Amino acid sequence: MTATDIAVAPEIRAVQEKASGSSFYSAMRLMPKAEREAMFAIYAFCRAVDDIADDGVGTQAERHDALNGWRMDLDVLYAGGNPLHGAFLKDAILTYALRKEDFLAVIDGMDMDVAEDIRAPDLATLDLYCDRVASAVGRLSVKVFGMDDTPGFALAHHLGRALQLTNILRDLDEDASIGRLYLAREHLEAAGITSRDLGVAIDDPRIDAACRATAILAHAHYRQAEKIMDSRPRGRIRTPRLMGAVYAEILRRMEAAGWAPPRHRVSLPKSRLAMILLRHGLGG
């Protein structure tokens, strides 16, 4: 183990500890050790660049430069050098042939948040954002799962978008607290919400209709992801199947509760999570 490995190891342990008890961690436990470690390396990268975009530390230019630093580190890493950050990705990249373009897409997604606080993007921009911050992570993940590119990338496309749209609906108030609203402009306007004042928009009871339109999109992606997994493609699909089942259940519970204010963050009881794990995880 090199000095760099020793320095980075606590970073990996930190994300493992943060994920402990979550549905993500439950899904990772289904994987063999080498694959699980690769997934935590990917997760550590995502957390690092996400923190740059979301923690509000530094000016816009400084955060943009920090993301560019990660781009340069990836250039060094893929050229066989020793990057300032991200050396913990090396084994996963070499073992699973992870594509540089997918890591860069994740950074591009974070840069969308840094460039300006996203508020009511049009549907095309929302889809691009979901592709970069979620489906690109899926494209990295399916390599670790041992899936062939065609079904694997199709699964990443649909399941990534489904999970991200679910998170958008779940984090509506949390995102608003940092000046962001990811609901599509078309859905908000169809619901009668035309104000771009964030407080006015999220406090409008009609936001429930815009959220339900987003939920319809998410359900469509969940269905397509299920079709791909039901076709029994090569590779380990228990992990994505479990993630899809957990988040689809969260989405259904949010639909039952509605999104009109006041809202409460929806989570699954541990007993329900255990049942889903038993049905979709241990059941193969």
Distance between CA atoms of residues 3 and 40, nearest Å: 20
pLDDT of residue 57: 81
What is the CB-side half-sphere exposure of residue 79 using CA atoms within 13 A?
9
Residue type, 163: L
pLDDT of residue 6: 36
Task: Give 132 or 86, the one with higher predicted confidence.
Answer: 132
pLDDT of residue 7: 40
Listed range (22-31, 32-41, 266-275) with the worst mean pLDDT: 22-31
Q: What pTM was computed for the model?
A: 0.90
Q: Is residue 10's pLDDT more than 70?
A: no
In this structure, what token pair is assigned to residue 38? Answer: 């690769």
pLDDT of residue 25: 62
Do 226 and 195 lie in a common domain?
yes
Do 131 and 272 lie in a common domain?
yes
Do 160 and 57 lie in a common domain?
no
Do 87 and 22 lie in a common domain?
yes
pLDDT of residue 274: 74
Tell me the average pLDDT across 116-123.
Answer: 94
Distance between CA atoms of residues 6 and 11, nearest Å: 10
Do 151 and 252 lie in a common domain?
yes
Tokens 């259904």 found at: 252
Q: What is the overall mean pLDDT for the chain?
A: 89
Of 92, 116, 140, the last residue of a domain is: 116
Do 154 and 271 lie in a common domain?
yes
From first CA to last CA, the distance across the chain in angstroms is: 35
Q: What is the domain range of residue 146?
A: 118-284
pLDDT tens-digit map of 43-82 = 999 999 999 998 878 899 999 999 999 999 999 999 999 9
When pLDDT is cut at 50, 70 and 90, the band that residue 3 belongs to is very low
Q: Is residue 9's pLDDT more than 70?
A: no
Q: What's the number of domains the chain is made of?
A: 2
Tell me the average pLDDT across 87-104.
Answer: 96
